[in-house]
Amino acid sequence: MDFFGIGPWEVLLILISVLLIFGPGKLPEIARALGEGIRKFRMASREMTATISKEINEETKEIKSELIKTGEAITDEVKDISNSLPLSEIKGQNKNSESRKEMKARYRT
């Protein structure tokens, strides 16, 4: 058993030293105070974790909504641009371009 890097014999030595220094009458008070301190620390730790998690979730929701709005704006812009182009340019052909067959025929000769 390894307790904070201290072996069982070292823990026993520390407990005996505390018992000799403070006496058996003070030992329950010390243990009670130590227990309350640990309880308060755990409670504060939980509250801090809950607060941080709540803030992270709120920020994530804000960022997500901004990304959705930006994506919708980009989609609208693309639709506007594609609606303003002539149909021949949208298909990738304009009036001056040759068809594929015409290009093959020209380069064969």
**Residue 52 pLDDT exceeds 90:** yes
More confident residue, 98 or 34: 34
Tens-place pLDDT, residues 54-107: 999 999 999 999 999 999 999 999 888 877 776 655 555 555 555 666 766 666
Cα 109 to Cα 106: distance, rounded to the nearest angstrom? 6
Model confidence band, residue 39 (pLDDT cutoffs 50, 70, 90): very high
Q: Where are the beta strands (DSSP E) in the chain?
A: none
Q: How far apart are CA 30 and CA 37, in angstroms?
A: 11
Question: How far apart, in whole angstroms, are the C-alpha atoms of residue 45 and residue 95?
Answer: 71
Tell me the average pLDDT of the chain: 83
Out of 7-16, 29-38, 44-53, 85-94, which region has the weakest mean confidence (pLDDT)? Answer: 85-94
Distances (CA, A) of 59 to 50, 56, 82: 14, 5, 35
